[in-house]
C-alpha cells in the first residue's frame, strides 16, 4: 500500500483514481457499507431509483469538470426544478416573477415587477439580503414577505439556530430571479447519470491498484502524535500518507469542542399514485418539523407505477450516534473553532485532508470534485 484514503465519496474516490493511475497502490476505508458517499443511489423495492442521502444533481460552469465525470459515465441533461409551498400555494424556487403573481393582486404584482425591473436594471437576480435591505420600500416589503414566510422558517429548521446567527453566505446561496425563468441552477452543464451515481463510482474505482474496505471505522485505527507531528496507524507512525475526508475535529478526538454539523433523518414513503407534488423537490417552510420532500421518480423522470418520496427532518449531528454529518453550520464561532483544528492539522507531515467535512465548507459536487483534483497535485507518494 502506497496511500491510505479515508472516505469513499467523490473526494476520496477521485484522489484514489488519480494516485492509482500514477502506479500507486491505494487502499480506501469507509465506515459505510457502500461506495459513493452521499451520492450513493440504488433501485428500491418499487423499481424506483432513489438517492439514499437526499437529492443530488451534478451542475457546473466548468467544461473540464464535466469532461472529467464523462470519462466514467454517460450523462443526460437534467435541469432541476424546485418549488416551495407557502400559504397553501406551490411557487417556483428560486422565487421569480411567478411568485409575485402568486401572492399579490394583479395590480400590485404589475407595480412591484415594474419597480424591480427599474431598480435592478443591470442584473437578473439578487439574494434575499439585498432585497431586504433595499432603499425602495416596496422591494423591502417583498423581501420581508419572503423572509417571514420562507427563509426565516426554513433556516430555523434546517440549521437549528436563529437566522441572524447564520453566516450570510448561507442566505445568499439561493437567488431571487427578476424574470419568469425557472430552474434551480444557471450552470452550463446540468446533468444526471443515465444509469446511476453508483455505476459512475464503480467505474471510477475500477482499477487494479485500488482496494476498498467497507464497514471500516478509520478512527479506531488512526491517532495524531502532535509532538512528532505525524499520523499514527494502530499506534505506529504511518509509513504512507493518509488522505482524510472526514470531520477534522473527530480526528483530534474533539478535544477542543465539537464542530457543529447538521444531520438529516429521512422518512421514506411509497404511494400508488402518479404524482405526489408538482416538482421533484419541494420545500415546506411552514410545516412544523420537516423541511422538504423529494419525489424520486422525477429525479430523473422514471416511467414507473406509483411514487417513492422521502421527507427530510433536519437534526443536530452528535458524534457517536447513528446519524451522519451533512452540512457544516457556518457561524463566526464555528469558523474560529475550525481554524484551531486546521492549524493543528496543517502541521502533520503525513496528513492530507479535503472534502466538505474536512474543509468545513458547503461544497456542491462540482466544487468537491475540483477540490479533489487540486489536492491530487499536492499529494506526494
Mean pLDDT of the 293-300 span:
97
CB 20 within 8 A of CB 207: yes
Give the model's pLDDT for residue 15. Answer: 98
Give the model's pLDDT for residue 167. Answer: 65
CB 242 within 8 A of CB 352: yes
pLDDT tens digits for 45-58?
999 999 999 999 99
Measured distance CA(51)–CA(40) in Å, rounded = 6
Segment (H or E) for 137: helix 137-146
- pLDDT surpassing 90 at residue 164: no
Give the model's pLDDT for residue 166. Answer: 65
Confidence band for 159, pLDDT divided at 50, 70 and 90: confident
Q: Which of left, alpha, beta for 106 (phi over 0: left; psi -120 to 50: alpha)? A: alpha
CB 373 within 8 A of CB 14: yes
Instruction: Note the pTM of the prediction, 2 decimals.
Output: 0.93
- pLDDT surpassing 70 at residue 170: no
Confidence band for 163, pLDDT divided at 50, 70 and 90: low
* Residues of the chain above pLDDT 90, percent: 86
- pLDDT surpassing 70 at residue 161: yes
Give the model's pLDDT for residue 328. Answer: 92
Give the model's pLDDT for residue 323. Answer: 86
Mean pLDDT of the 81-95 span:
96
pLDDT tens digits for 116-149?
999 999 999 998 889 989 999 999 999 999 988 9
Peptide bond into 5 cis (omega under 30): no
Q: Which of 186-200, 309-323, 343-357 has the lowest mean pLDDT?
A: 309-323
Give the model's pLDDT for residue 375. Answer: 96
Neighbour-count burial of 63, counting CB atoms closer than 10 A to its CB (0-12 exposed, 13-18 middle, 19+ buried): exposed
Confidence band for 162, pLDDT divided at 50, 70 and 90: confident
- pLDDT surpassing 90 at residue 334: yes
Measured distance CA(290)–CA(84) in Å, rounded = 13
Q: Which of 154-168, 230-244, 317-331 has the lowest mean pLDDT?
A: 154-168
Mean pLDDT of the 48-75 span:
98
Confidence band for 355, pLDDT divided at 50, 70 and 90: very high
Measured distance CA(202)–CA(182) in Å, rounded = 33
pLDDT tens digits for 216-261?
999 999 999 999 999 999 999 999 999 999 999 999 999 999 999 9
Give the model's pLDDT for residue 138. Answer: 97
Average pLDDT, the chain: 94
Give the model's pLDDT for residue 30. Answer: 98
Q: Which residue has the higher pLDDT, 27 or 321?
A: 27
Peptide bond into 14 cis (omega under 30): no
Q: Which residue has the higher pLDDT, 151 or 139?
A: 139
Give the model's pLDDT for residue 152. Answer: 86
Give the CATH number of domain 3-78+192-259+329-376; options: 3.40.50.720, 3.30.420.40, 2.40.30.10, 1.20.120.1200: 3.40.50.720
For residue 362, give the C-alpha cell: 458547503
Phi, psi of 32 (to 5 degrees): -80, 175
Residues of the chain with CATH 3.40.50.720: 3-78+192-259+329-376
Amino acid at each position: 500500500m502506497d496511500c491510505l484514503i479515508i472516505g469513499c465519496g467523490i473526494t476520496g474516490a477521485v484522489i484514489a483514481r488519480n494516485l492509482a493511475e500514477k502506479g500507486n497502490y491505494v487502499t480506501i476505508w469507509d465506515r459505510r457499507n457502500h461506495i459513493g458517499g452521499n451520492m450513493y443511489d440504488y433501485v428500491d423495492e418499487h423499481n424506483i431509483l432513489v438517492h439514499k442521502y437526499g437529492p443530488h444533481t451534478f451542475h457546473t460552469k466548468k467544461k473540464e469538470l464535466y469532461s472529467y465525470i464523462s470519462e466514467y459515465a454517460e450523462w443526460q441533461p437534467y435541469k432541476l426544478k424546485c418549488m416551495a409551498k407557502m400559504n397553501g400555494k406551490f411557487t417556483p424556487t428560486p422565487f421569480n416573477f411567478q411568485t409575485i403573481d402568486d401572492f399579490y393582486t394583479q395590480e400590485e404584482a404589475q407595480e412591484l415587477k415594474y419597480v424591480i425591473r427599474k431598480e435592478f436594471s443591470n442584473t437578473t437576480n439578487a439574494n434575499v439580503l439585498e432585497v431586504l435591505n433595499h432603499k425602495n420600500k416596496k422591494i423591502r416589503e417583498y423581501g420581508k414577505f419572503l423572509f417571514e414566510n420562507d427563509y426565516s422558517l426554513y433556516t430555523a429548521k434546517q440549521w437549528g439556530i436563529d437566522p441572524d446567527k447564520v453566516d450570510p453566505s448561507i442566505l445568499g446561496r439561493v437567488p431571487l430571479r427578476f424574470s419568469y425563468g425557472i430552474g434551480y441552477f444557471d450552470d452550463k452543464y446540468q446533468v444526471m447519470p443515465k444509469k446511476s451515481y453508483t455505476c459512475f463510482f464503480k467505474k471510477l474505482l475500477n482499477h487494479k491498484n485500488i482496494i476498498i474496505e467497507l464497514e471500516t471505522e478509520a478512527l479506531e485505527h488512526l491517532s495524531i502524535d502532535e509532538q512528532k507531528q505525524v499520523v499514527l496507524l494502530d499506534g505506529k507512525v504511518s509509513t504512507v500518507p493518509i488522505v482524510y475526508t472526514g470531520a477534522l475535529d473527530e480526528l483530534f478526538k474533539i478535544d477542543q469542542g465539537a464542530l457543529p454539523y447538521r444531520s438529516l433523518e429521512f422518512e421514506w414513503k411509497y404511494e400508488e399514485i402518479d404524482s405526489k407534488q408538482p416538482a421533484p423537490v419541494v420545500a415546506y417552510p411552514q410545516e412544523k418539523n420537516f423541511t422538504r420532500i423529494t419525489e424520486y421518480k422525477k429525479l430523473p423522470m422514471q416511467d414507473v407505477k406509483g411514487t417513492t418520496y422521502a421527507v427530510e427532518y433536519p437534526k443536530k449531528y452528535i458524534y457517536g450516534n447513528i446519524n451522519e454529518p451533512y452540512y457544516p453550520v457556518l457561524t463566526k464561532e464555528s469558523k474560529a473553532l475550525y481554524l484551531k483544528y486546521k492549524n493543528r492539522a496543517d502541521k502533520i507531515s503525513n496528513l492530507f485532508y479535503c472534502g466538505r467535512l474536512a474543509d468545513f465548507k458547503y461544497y456542491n459536487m462540482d466544487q468537491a470534485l475540483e477540490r479533489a483534483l487540486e489536492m491530487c497535485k499536492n499529494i506526494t507518494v
